[in-house]
Amino acid sequence: MAQTSHPSPTEESSTQSDLKQVMGPGLLLLFIIGDILGTGVYALTGQVAGEVGGAAWLPFAIAFAVALITACSYLELVTKYPQAAGAALYVHKAFGKHALTFLVCFTVMCSGITSASAASRAFAANLTTGFGLDVGNGVILLIALAFMLLVLAVNLRGVGESVKANIVLTAVELSGLLLVIVISLYFIAGGNADFSRVVAFETAADKSVFLAVSTATSLAFFAMVGFEDSVNMAEETKEPSRIFPRIMLTGLGVTGLIYVLISICAVAVVPVGRLAESETPLTLVVQTAAPGFPMADLLPFISMFAVANSALINMLMASRLLYGMGKQGVLPSFLAKVNPTRRTPHAAIVFTTIIALGLITYVSLDPESPVVALLGGTTSLLLLAVFAAVNLSVLVLRKDQVATKHFNAGRVLPVIGAITSLYLVLPWSSGRPAGQYEIAGVLLAIGIVLWLITWYARRRENATQQG
């Protein structure tokens, strides 16, 4: 994930292409599927059902459609500019404003921290379920914090993200979801399911069906994010302009289909009320559908493995982005410090971990707070804002002609992508709880303060040199 650390891309950095091209179509597909699968569907299916009732499949389907539209914009840009740096590079090329580029990059970094924090809480919940521990909120919080410290230790030691490791991780994540589908279908085939729940809308008294669907979609979108990370692998992909469109759309299609099937099976097997109250909804589905099946006891551990992978990948990404901003002088230079032995950005790793620990603690203080839903919703909020910027960048960069053949998203899809992304960001249309905006605001405020401190220090340094 180190290739994502380009907070303020310059023409020089964006044209470097000295990375080894090792990823073909098959490995790229596994990378995309593995990056999308994870915490979202394992932990938030119940929360989505809690917003709309049995029709939980609808928000996942809408989230898939929104992701697909935005993916087309990403495809045009990654095939047009097949370099690492992702959204930060595209926004910088389109608008040329360093402050805006910084905000986009820092927002992506914050989304990684909130996603990893959500994963740590989901890890703790699955661990207590897997070992049959009847513990309170305080113990789950301590386990989540301990897990994040473990991620810190692994990150400080250095993690080689080999292709073989990604294949194994993806296989484990996928097997858990396929297990839920197969066992649920067996339960359904036996005539034990209640399919009337699948088309039943049950919304809160203060929400219309439309607003409830919007709220649930904002939450379900957390399960679809991850495809945007693949553009940072462009320099390590063979013939990216040719294979990226087909592979990214295939990866999105596979994960979208799995998510819709999971949501339909879940509400058909388990009553919505019980599903919404569980922090490990898919484990509850398997336990209900096959109480005597030994694999039901294994699913919490598969879920732990999946969310642990999500947490580690996101903290790697977040720390490398912060390191990059420190290295390029956008943030304080101490964040660019590298361990002389391990060659890891230890200052950035510790800084991002401190933020994650604070986040997990803050949102866990209220025992009634849906912690994973709050952090997952904040992640989708941050990324949807970035997606709106990427969709606008496509339209602006149409005037920039390149010699190579590239994907074209058309004129309509980027506009729809920008509008739908903003719709799911704004509070009066998305139905998001205020807590998501508070968390996002605090995180961005931290970034802006660091940026201002750096700007002021550099200004004084320049004034001293001129004097």
Q: State the pLDDT confidence band at 156, using cuts at 50, 70 and 90.
A: confident
21-78: pLDDT as tens digits: 667 888 788 878 877 887 677 777 888 888 888 888 999 999 999 999 999 999 999 8
Q: What phi, psi does 381 have (nearest 5°)? A: -60, -50
Task: Determine the pLDDT at residue 233.
Answer: 64
Q: Are 156 and 342 in contact (CB under 8 A)?
A: yes
Q: Specify the residue for token string 């960048």.
A: 393
Cα gap 353→151, rounded to integer Å: 9
Q: Residue 8 pLDDT more than 60?
A: no
Q: Are 275 and 267 in contact (CB under 8 A)?
A: yes
281 versus 235: the higher-pLDDT residue is 281
Percent of residues, the chain, with pLDDT higher than 90: 28
Pick from 327, 405, 426, 362: nearest CA to 114: 362
Q: Are 143 and 136 in contact (CB under 8 A)?
A: no
Residue 237: helix, strand or coil by DSSP? Answer: strand
Q: State the pLDDT confidence band at 9, using cuts at 50, 70 and 90.
A: very low
Task: Determine the pLDDT at residue 10.
Answer: 40
Mean pLDDT of 236-259: 87
411-459: pLDDT as tens digits: 999 999 999 999 999 998 888 989 999 999 999 999 899 888 888 888 8
Q: Are 260 and 60 in contact (CB under 8 A)?
A: yes
Residue 95: helix, strand or coil by DSSP? Answer: helix
One DSSP character per residue, 418-457 reads: HHHHHHTTSHHHH---HHHHHHHHHHHHHHHHHHHHHHHH
DSSP 198: G
Q: State the pLDDT confidence band at 232, using cuts at 50, 70 and 90.
A: low
286-338: pLDDT as tens digits: 889 988 877 667 878 887 877 787 788 788 878 877 887 788 777 888 888 88
Burial class (CB in 10 A: 0-12, 13-18, 19+), 176: buried
Q: Are 113 and 122 in contact (CB under 8 A)?
A: no
Mean pLDDT of the chain: 83
Task: Determine the pLDDT at residue 395.
Answer: 95
Neighbours of 25 (CB within 10 A): 16
251-269: pLDDT as tens digits: 999 999 999 999 999 999 9
The neighbouring-strand residues paired with 53 are 201
Neighbours of 277 (CB within 10 A): 13
Q: State the pLDDT confidence band at 17, using cuts at 50, 70 and 90.
A: very low
367 versus 196: the higher-pLDDT residue is 196
* Radius of gyration of the CA atoms of the chain, in A: 22
Task: Determine the pLDDT at residue 68.
Answer: 94
Burial class (CB in 10 A: 0-12, 13-18, 19+), 333: middle
Cα gap 255→54, rounded to integer Å: 20
Largest distance between two CA atoms of the chain:
84
467 versus 202: the higher-pLDDT residue is 202
184 versus 369: the higher-pLDDT residue is 184
Residues across the chain: 467
Q: Are 80 and 397 in contact (CB under 8 A)?
A: yes
Give the range among 4-8, 124-128, 268-272 with minimum mean pLDDT.
Answer: 4-8
271-295: pLDDT as tens digits: 888 888 887 888 889 889 988 877 6
Neighbours of 194 (CB within 10 A): 14
Q: Are 38 and 229 in contact (CB under 8 A)?
A: no
Q: Are 78 and 89 in contact (CB under 8 A)?
A: no
Q: What phi, psi does 201 have (nearest 5°)? A: -90, 125
Q: Specify the residue for token string 């080894």.
A: 20
Task: Determine the pLDDT at residue 165.
Answer: 57
Task: Determine the pLDDT at residue 46.
Answer: 83
Task: Determine the pLDDT at residue 84.
Answer: 59
Cα gap 252→250, rounded to integer Å: 5
Task: Determine the pLDDT at residue 140.
Answer: 92
Cα gap 388→390, rounded to integer Å: 5
Q: Residue 467 pLDDT more than 80?
A: no
Q: Which amino acid is at 37?
A: L
Residue 310: helix, strand or coil by DSSP? Answer: helix
Burial class (CB in 10 A: 0-12, 13-18, 19+), 359: buried
Q: Are 74 and 248 in contact (CB under 8 A)?
A: yes
Q: State the pLDDT confidence band at 82, using cuts at 50, 70 and 90.
A: confident
Q: State the pLDDT confidence band at 236, using cuts at 50, 70 and 90.
A: low
357-399: pLDDT as tens digits: 999 999 888 777 778 889 989 999 999 999 999 999 999 999 8
Cα gap 35→307, rounded to integer Å: 11
